[in-house]
Amino acid sequence: QVQLVESGGGLVQPGGSLRLSCVASGFTLGYFAIGWFRQAPGKEREGVSCIRTSIGTTYYADSVKGRFTISRDNAKNTVYLQMDSLKPEDTAVYYCATYRGHGSSCNLDPNEYDYWGQGTRVTVSS
């Protein structure tokens, strides 16, 4: 059974950091490009970052560039999202997902992703 499980969310003050994890089971994560997305209350789901398979090329939304870092450990079947300098506008439920296309590419369009985790909530507030 294909499954993605996110963890690492929580409440953090502005300027703080969190590291999200996305653990895959039922398939080999290393064969897929993986994306991180978020959805804030009343807003559409938006792409945050994605990472390709082989050489791990990464892409970021402008809103998180320079603050978030995506990485993967294929031996652990896990993708991470390190989030630093968090802002209140980063508050959302964060999801990871598998890219439908070839693993050597990825983008931030949620419509091009197939398997999704259940999400982990991130709240940035003082």
CA distance 71 to 50: 9
pLDDT for res 8: 98
Average pLDDT, the chain: 94
Kindly state the tokens that stand for 12. 């953090």
CA distance 64 to 83: 9
Sheet containing 78-83: give its strands across: 3-7, 18-25, 78-83, 68-73
pLDDT for res 54: 66
pLDDT for res 101: 80
Question: Residue 89: which of 53, 61, 119, 58 has the closest Cα?
Answer: 61
pLDDT for res 64: 98
pLDDT for res 39: 98
Give every CB contact of residue 125 below 8 A, 6+ residues apart in sequence.
Answer: 11, 13, 14, 88, 91
List pLDDT tens digits, range 3-56.
999 999 999 999 999 999 999 999 988 889 999 999 999 999 999 999 998 667
List pLDDT tens digits, range 65-89.
999 999 999 899 999 999 999 999 9
29 touches 78 (CB < 8 A): yes
